[in-house]
C-alpha cells in the first residue's frame, strides 16, 4: 500500500512538470517526439538519418538520455544542432524534471522539431510523460516479432511504430506481418513506418511525415 502511494505521488509530480514542459514547447510551436526502444534498436542512427535528410529544412534539437556516456550526443552534435545529453547514472528512464532541466539549455524560439531519445528500455519509459506531443516506439527486426505482446505499454502509449533494420529481414527470425499484426492488436491506431537506418530505406517516408508534423514557422 505504501509503495503504491509513493509511486502515485512520483507520477503526479512528474505529470505536473510534464504539462509545464508541454505548455512551453507548444507556446514556441515546437513539435516534440519521445523515442522509445530497447537498447540497440537504432534510435541514434535513425536520428542521424533524419538530420541528414531534413536538417536543412527544419530547425531540430535533440535531447539524449543514456545511463552513462555522452557518446550519442557527440554523434548528433556533429550535425551542428543543439544536442543535450542527460546522463541518468543508472536511472532506466527519463522523467519530466530531467527534460525540464535540459530544455533550459536549448533556445526554443526558432525551433521546429525536438526529438528526445529516451534511455534504451521498453518498460518504464512508456509510463513517464515528458511533455512530448507523441511517443514513437522503435522495434528492430532483430528483436523478433513478439515484443508488442511482451511489452504492450510501450506500443499502447505510442502513436507511431518504426520497424527498423528491415535490411536484416533475410537473416533474422522476424515475420513482418506478425510484428505489424501484434503491434496493431495492442494499439490499432498506430501509424507504422518500415525503415533501415543502415541503408536509408524508408527514411524519405518517415521524414516526409515528420516535416508535416513540424511545419517551419515564418
Query: With respect to Mg ion, which residue has the nearer C-beta, 41 or 179?
Result: 41
Give the shortest CB-123-to-Mg ion separation in angstroms: 17
Give the shortest CB-127-to-Zn ion separation in angstroms: 8
Q: Which option in Mg ion, Zn ion, none does residue 165 bind, with CB closer than 5 to 8 A by kind?
A: none
H/E run at residue 71: helix 71-77
Distance between CA atoms of residues 160 and 51, nearest Å: 19
Contacting residue, 14, 37, 38, 44, with Mg ion by CB under 5 A: 44
Query: If binding is defined by CB under 5 A, does position 92 make contact with Zn ion?
Result: yes
CA dihedral over 130, 135, 140, 143, signed as positive or negative? positive
Local structure of 13: helix, strand or coil? helix
Cα separations (Å) of 73 from 69, 78, 83, 108, 209? 9, 9, 6, 18, 24
Q: Which of residues 108-127 bind Zn ion (CB under 5 A)?
A: 124
Q: How many of the chain's residues bind Zn ion (CB under 5 A)?
A: 3
- Nearest residue to 49 via CA among 202, 193, 161: 202
Q: Which option in Mg ion, Zn ion, none does residue 124 bind, with CB closer than 5 to 8 A by kind?
A: Zn ion
> Of the listed pieces 35-43, 121-129, 139-147, 183-191, which binds Mg ion according to CB under 5 A?
35-43
Distance between CA atoms of residues 87 and 141, nearest Å: 28
Half-sphere exposure for 177 (CA within 13 Å, toward CB): 0
Give the shortest CB-83-to-Mg ion separation in angstroms: 12
Query: With respect to Mg ion, which residue has the nearer C-beta, 66 or 95?
Result: 66
Binding residues vs Mg ion (CB under 5 A): 43-44, 72
Amino acid at each position: 500500500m505504501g509503495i503504491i502511494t509513493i509511486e502515485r505521488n512520483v507520477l503526479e509530480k512528474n505529470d505536473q512538470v510534464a504539462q509545464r514542459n508541454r505548455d512551453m514547447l507548444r507556446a514556441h510551436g515546437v513539435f516534440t517526439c519521445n523515442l522509445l526502444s530497447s537498447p540497440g534498436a537504432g534510435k541514434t542512427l535513425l536520428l542521424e538519418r533524419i538530420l541528414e535528410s531534413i536538417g536543412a529544412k527544419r530547425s531540430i534539437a535533440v535531447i539524449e538520455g543514456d545511463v552513462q556516456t555522452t557518446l550519442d550526443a557527440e554523434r548528433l552534435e556533429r550535425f551542428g544542432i543543439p544536442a543535450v545529453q542527460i546522463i541518468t547514472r543508472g536511472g532506466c528512464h527519463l522523467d519530466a524534471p530531467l527534460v525540464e532541466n535540459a530544455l533550459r539549455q536549448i533556445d526554443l524560439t526558432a525551433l521546429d522539431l525536438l526529438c528526445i531519445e529516451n534511455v534504451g528500455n521498453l518498460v518504464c519509459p512508456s509510463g513517464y510523460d515528458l511533455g512530448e506531443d507523441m511517443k514513437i516506439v522503435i522495434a528492430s527486426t532483430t528483436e523478433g516479432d513478439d515484443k508488442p505482446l511482451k511489452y504492450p505499454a510501450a506500443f499502447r502509449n505510442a502513436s507511431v511504430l518504426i520497424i527498423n533494420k528491415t535490411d536484416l529481414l533475410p537473416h533474422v527470425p522476424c515475420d513482418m506481418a506478425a510484428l505489424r499484426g501484434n503491434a496493431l492488436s495492442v494499439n490499432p491506431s498506430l501509424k507504422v513506418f518500415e525503415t533501415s537506418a543502415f541503408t536509408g530505406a524508408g527514411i524519405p517516408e518517415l521524414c516526409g511525415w515528420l516535416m508535416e508534423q513540424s511545419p517551419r514557422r515564418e
